[in-house]
């Protein structure tokens, strides 16, 4: 792991597009600011790891399907039905 | 127009599946836990149409069960993060659908749905991404009420 020392208001670049700024330090807590392109997802590691674990257990669950059970390819999925409320878009 | 190329994958769960290349969904960012998987098919058992398995074509052992969250939680209102709408180029309600991962516990006593990390699929581009609704009220493990399962005919995945 690369380890760098930074002071408050100093930053590091990750690649050409991602800047991580040390915004504040208070005892054992560090506040970071992240500037990244909009399509880049930025999450706390614990949450990402929780989703990883959840996906892995989802994929591991269930017995194999009986041989010859008819399987349908769902090539065309449907958008959410109109009667339902539309999903909100966050700013 | 040229007819789409037919392909075959020998899956662990469903045996041999033949599909058109145009049936594939692309996950350009992979999936948390399966970052290298890019190409998936949506498969259902004919007897369990409420369940969709996202079957990886790159790893035939990997199939992730998902379902329409509104079928079970009609009040579900995910606020899509900007990075998702941007990355998937989602413009209107007809453009996309949302599916949530279903987990069956080891003893098959309980089924949960991951409402915190829905899979968003752009139906026009067939590109998809699982997103994380941080700071949302939704849990990774939302219990699916058993009576509801029975009512929907969605028994646990085979």
Closest C-alpha to A58, from B7, B119, B123, B28: B119
- How many Cβ pairs closer than 8 A exist between chain A and B? 164
**Complex ipTM value:** 0.88
pLDDT band at A81 (very low <50, low <70, confident <90, very high): low
Torsion of CA B7, B13, B15, B20, to 10 degrees: -20
Q: Which of residues 90-149 of B touch A (CB under 8 A)?
A: 93-99, 101-106, 114, 116-117, 121, 123, 130-132, 134, 140-141
Structure tokens at B103: 């987990």
- At B151 the pLDDT is 47
Least trusted range by pLDDT, from A10-24, A45-59, B74-88 = B74-88
DSSP letters for chain B:
-PPPPEEEEEETTTEEEEEEGGG-EE-TT-BTTBTT--EEEEEEETT-TT-EEEEESSSTT-EEEEE-HHHH-TT---EE-HHHHHHHT--SGGGEEEEEEEEE-TTSS-EEE--SSPEEEETTTTEEEE---TTSS--SSEEPPHHHHHHHT-PSP-
The residue-averaged pLDDT of A34-62 equals 90
Query: Cβ B117–A66 below 8 Å, yes or no?
Result: no
Positions of chain B with pLDDT under 50: 151-155, 158
Q: Which of A35, A41, A66 to probe by mutation at the B interface, max B CB count within 10 Å?
A: A41
> Is residue B73 within 8 Å of residue B113, measured between CB atoms?
yes
- Residue B102 is nearest to which of A40, A58, A65, comparing CB atoms? A58
Using CA atoms, how far apart are residues B108 and B111, in angstroms rounded to an integer? 7
- At B154 the pLDDT is 47
- At B150 the pLDDT is 54
The residue-averaged pLDDT of A68-77 equals 82
pLDDT, chain A, mean: 85
Q: Tell me which of B93 and A32 has the higher pLDDT.
A: A32
- Residue B97 is nearest to which of A54, A67, A80, comparing CB atoms? A80
> How close, in Å, is residue B150 to chain A by CA atoms?
18
Whole-number percent of chain A with pLDDT over 90: 57
Whole-number percent of chain A with pLDDT over 70: 84
- At B21 the pLDDT is 92
Rounded to two decimals, the pTM is 0.84
Using CA atoms, how far apart are residues B150 and B147, in angstroms rounded to an integer? 5
> Is residue B60 within 8 Å of residue B9, measured between CB atoms?
yes
């Amino acid at each position: 792991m690369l380890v760098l020392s930074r002071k408050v208001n100093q930053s590091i670049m990750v690649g050409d597009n991602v800047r991580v700024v040390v915004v504040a330090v208070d005892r054992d807590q560090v506040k970071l600011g992240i500037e990244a392109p909009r399509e880049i997802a930025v999450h706390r590691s614990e949450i990402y790891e929780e989703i990883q674990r959840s996906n892995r257990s989802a994929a591991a669950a269930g017995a194999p399907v009986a041989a010859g059970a008819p399987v349908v390819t769902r090539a065309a999925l449907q958008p959410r039905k109109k009667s339902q409320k539309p999903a909100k878009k966050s700013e | 127009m040229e007819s789409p190329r037919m392909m075959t994958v020998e899956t662990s769960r469903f045996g041999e599946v033949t599909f058109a290349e145009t049936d594939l969904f692309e996950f350009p960012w992979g999936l948390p836990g399966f970052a290298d998987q890019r190409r998936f098919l949506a498969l259902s058992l004919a007897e369990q149409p409420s369940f969709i398995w996202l079957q990886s074509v790159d790893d035939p052992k990997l199939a992730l069960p998902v379902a329409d969250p509104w079928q079970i939680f009609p009040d579900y209102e995910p606020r899509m993060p900007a990075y998702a709408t941007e990355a998937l180029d989602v413009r209107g309600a007809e453009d996309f659908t949302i599916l949530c991962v279903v987990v069956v516990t080891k003893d098959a006593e309980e089924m949960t749905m991951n409402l915190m990390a829905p899979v968003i699929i752009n139906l026009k581009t067939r590109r998809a991404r699982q997103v994380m609704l941080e700071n949302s009220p939704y849990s990774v493990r939302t219990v699916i009420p058993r009576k509801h399962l029975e009512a929907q005919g969605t028994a646990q995945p085979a």
